[in-house]
Chains A and B, each alone.
Chain A
Amino acid sequence: MRQWTVMYKKELSEQWRSFKWLWVPLVFMLLGMTQPVTAYYLPDILEQFGGLPEGAVIDIPLPGGGQVLADTLGQFSQIGMLVLVLAFMGTIVSERTQGTWAMVLVKPVSYGNVITTKWAAMLTLVTASYVLGLMSAIYYTFLLIESVPILDIVLGALLFLLWVMFIMTLVILFSSLFKSSGAVAFLTIGMAIVLSIISGFLPDLIQWSPGMLTSHSSDLLRTGETEALVWLPTTVTIVLITGMIFLSVSIVKRKEVIS
């Protein structure tokens, strides 16, 4: 456990040195602010740049606060996810190709610790950025549009966070499989898109899919309620995340160090 803590701290300080603790949270805060501000100013923006005929009456109802927050999470799952995957695609791959991987593994550290500390440090940064981004979105939504019941926000945000964690665990799994960070990013993003599309088209067939978490989360934010089946994708996702970590550790164990 002591070893784990030391390695975890080392990972965090490495993230700090590469400015990740600065720019990832800032990008999420920016994403979080943009949605409510755009929604608020949309009528003005249209009036100014929309090229509407003179005297056209613009009557766009301001979207509800829950809707704006759900849209913000939509931004997080597109641009935010892309940024996260690109930022972390090199987690294991670059160490392998540069040879530091071998230097770590000749020391008496367990493969399990190497993978889990990397995973935990990554999720720490991701969760912190996500929470900061969401808090700026909430602040602006409450300020400009309307307030939303806090409990709905917290529950919806947690469901969405689980989906983010699932995707980031995919990054670790693919990093243990492939030597190129491009392949890691491509496969992770592809997987996320496929899961979202499938849950969009066949929601009844795959209620257990992790991709359903996003739609449950957005239902919660918009209407304050969602189907009773939330526990199904939640459990499945948690099981899958655990499974993927064990799988990554065993893959890394079996693979001899690639130089």
Chain B
Amino acid sequence: MDMINWGVVAPLIAIQLILMTVALLDLVKRDQVNGEKWVWAIVIVVFNTIGPIAYFIFGRKTD
């Protein structure tokens, strides 16, 4: 395991970070979401990939 090629793994991590950041930024900017904001913040940070996706699908109130 000590010979992980970071060039291979880095893009995977980068995409997860982008998803998380965008979801968090949107969460902060939005006035109202479905449910509590702090719960979504935890969900987005703790469950990588699935958390942000769940937020984009279910969390954002369509106005």
Contacts and interface: CB of A to CB of B under 8 A. Distances in A.
- Most chain B CB within 10 A, of A19, A37, A87, A143, is at A19
A26 B15 contact: yes
Given A30-B49, A48-B1, A83-B53, A23 B9 contact: no
A26 B12 contact: no
Contacts of B22: 19, 22-23
A41 B22 CA distance: 29
A27 B12 CA distance: 10
Contact of A86 (B15, B57, B60): B57
B62 A87 contact: no
Interface string A13-48: 000001110110011011001100100110010011
Given A23-B19, A48-B1, A33 B12 contact: yes
Nearest to B11: A33
Interface in B10-62: 11-12, 15-16, 18-19, 22-23, 26, 49, 52-53, 56-57, 60, 62
A211 interface: no
Contacts of B19: 23, 26-27
A144 B8 contact: yes
Interface secondary structure of A, over-half rule: helix
Interface string A36-67: 01001100100110000000000000000000
Contacts of A86: 57
A249 B62 CA distance: 24
Contacts of A23: 19, 22-23, 52-53, 56
Nearest to A49: B1
B9 to A, nearest CB: 7
Interface in A209-226: none
A163 interface: no
A182 B22 CA distance: 26
A22 B53 CA distance: 11
B1 A26 contact: no
Contacts of B52: 23
A144 B26 CA distance: 36
A94 B22 CA distance: 23
A207 B11 CA distance: 40
Nearest to B63: A98
Contact of A18 (B16, B23, B60): B60
Interface of B: 1, 4, 8-9, 11-12, 15-16, 18-19, 22-23, 26, 49, 52-53, 56-57, 60, 62
Given A83-B53, A98-B62, 5 more contacts: A18-B62, A19-B26, A34-B12, A37-B8, A140-B8
28 contacts: A18-B60, A18-B62, A19-B26, A19-B56, A20-B56, A22-B18, A22-B22, A23-B22, A23-B52, A23-B53, A23-B56, A27-B53, A29-B15, A30-B49, A33-B11, A33-B12, A40-B8, A41-B4, A48-B1, A83-B53, A86-B57, A87-B56, A90-B62, A94-B62, A98-B62, A136-B11, A143-B8, A144-B8
